[in-house]
């Protein structure tokens, strides 16, 4: 999504555009895309907002160098890079933030449900030092009815503490590399209907296809239900970060200092997405 300088005009948000951008060479990148040409040049663009790992559109993990390229272009043209980490942040990709995997640091980071497992409604923006400093001498002209609500903030602090105590991020990473990844790839080997397996940690998707070579999606008549055709041929898997298999118990539980699994305790960790 590209945000025009003249206001919050969204020039492009379609998943297809994002996919096309990823395919574009980093040197040509988005000025060449149909929607971005309408922006009449980089000087008109205030910010670019992208999910670090795209979620609902199919768990699209960026290729090596892509986000570093976005960073370089934003630096070159004075554009703010906003990373949407609502879905991929707070451990879902096996790191506190997904961008940490890519050696590129955004200017603003949006977050929400992952930060407190959705126990109470909450969302926020993490602001880089240079941008925060612009408000040292002037008032930040923003706010919401419930900005900084103590209950919401306390739920984030408690969740982060529990995630650290139970090594939830490490667990998500291990479940992905040792259980989910191998298991899904094995499914793909056994079933030609699985066109592609993508993902990391506890953030995965399968493309269901009628033909692997052409990647044609499985016909709606096969995928559809009585409620109508499916929204996509991708099937996503986003289990709780505390998911474990019998051979993959979370460290805190298996270490013996707790009598029950995390899911049975007072504060179950279920980062929803
Ligand atoms: C990736 C992503 N960004 C943004 C949002 C919107 O977040 P909110 O409903 O907190 O505004 C969602 C909601 O599911 C999301 O998944």
pLDDT at 244: 75
209 alpha carbon – ligand 1 mean position (Å): 28
| Mean per-residue pLDDT, 57-76 | 96
- Residue keyed to tokens 């986000």: 67
Tens digits of residue pLDDT in 160-212: 999 999 999 999 999 999 999 999 999 999 999 999 999 999 999 999 999 99
Give the residues surrounding ligand 1 with Cβ less than 6 Å away: 51, 55, 84, 86-87, 112, 123
Q: Which fold has domain 2-165?
A: 3.40.640
| Nearest alpha carbon, ligand 1 atom 13 | 86
CATH code of the domain occupying 168-264 = 3.90.1150.10
pLDDT at 199: 97
Tens digits of residue pLDDT in 111-132: 999 999 999 999 999 999 999 9
Q: How far apart are CA 184 and CA 132, in angstroms?
A: 42
Percent of the chain with pLDDT over 70: 71
pLDDT at 4: 65
264 alpha carbon – ligand 1 mean position (Å): 28
pLDDT at 141: 87
- Per-domain residue ranges of the chain: 2-165, 168-264
Give the contacts of 205 (CB within 8 A, at least 6 positions apart): 58, 59, 197, 198, 199, 234, 235, 236, 237
Q: Which atom of ligand 1 is found nearest the CA of 54?
A: 1
| Nearest alpha carbon, ligand 1 atom 6 | 86
Tens digits of residue pLDDT in 92-105: 999 999 999 999 99
């Amino acid at each position: 999504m590209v945000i025009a300088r003249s206001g919050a005009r969204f020039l492009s948000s379609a998943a297809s555009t994002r996919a096309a951008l990823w395919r574009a060479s980093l040197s040509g990148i988005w000025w060449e895309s149909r929607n971005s040409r309408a922006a009449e040049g980089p000087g008109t663009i205030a910010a670019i907002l992208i999910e670090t790992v795209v979620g609902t559109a199919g768990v699209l993990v960026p290729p090596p160098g892509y986000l570093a390229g976005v960073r370089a272009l934003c630096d070159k043209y004075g554009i703010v890079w906003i990373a949407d980490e609502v879905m991929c942040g707070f451990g879902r990709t096996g790191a506190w933030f997904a961008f940490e995997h890519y050696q590129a640091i955004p200017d603003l980071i949006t977050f929400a449900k992952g930060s407190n497992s959705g126990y109470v409604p909450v969302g926020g923006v993490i602001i880089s030092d240079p941008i925060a400093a612009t408000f040292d001498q002037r008032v930040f002209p923003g706010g919401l009815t419930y900005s900084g609500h103590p209950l919401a903030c306390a739920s984030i602090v408690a969740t982060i503490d529990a995630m650290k105590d139970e090594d939830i991020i490490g667990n998500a990473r291990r479940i992905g590399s040792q259980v989910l990844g191998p298991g899904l790839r094995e499914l793909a080997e056994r079933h030609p209907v699985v066109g592609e397996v993508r993902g990391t940690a506890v953030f995965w998707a399968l493309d269901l296809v009628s033909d692997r070579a052409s990647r044609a999606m499985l016909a709606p008549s096969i995928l559809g239900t009585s409620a109508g055709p499916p929204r996509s041929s991708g099937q996503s898997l986003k289990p709780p970060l505390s998911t474990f298999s019998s051979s993959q118990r979370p460290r805190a539980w298996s270490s013996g200092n707790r009598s029950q699994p995390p899911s049975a305790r007072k504060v179950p960790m279920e980062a929803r997405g």
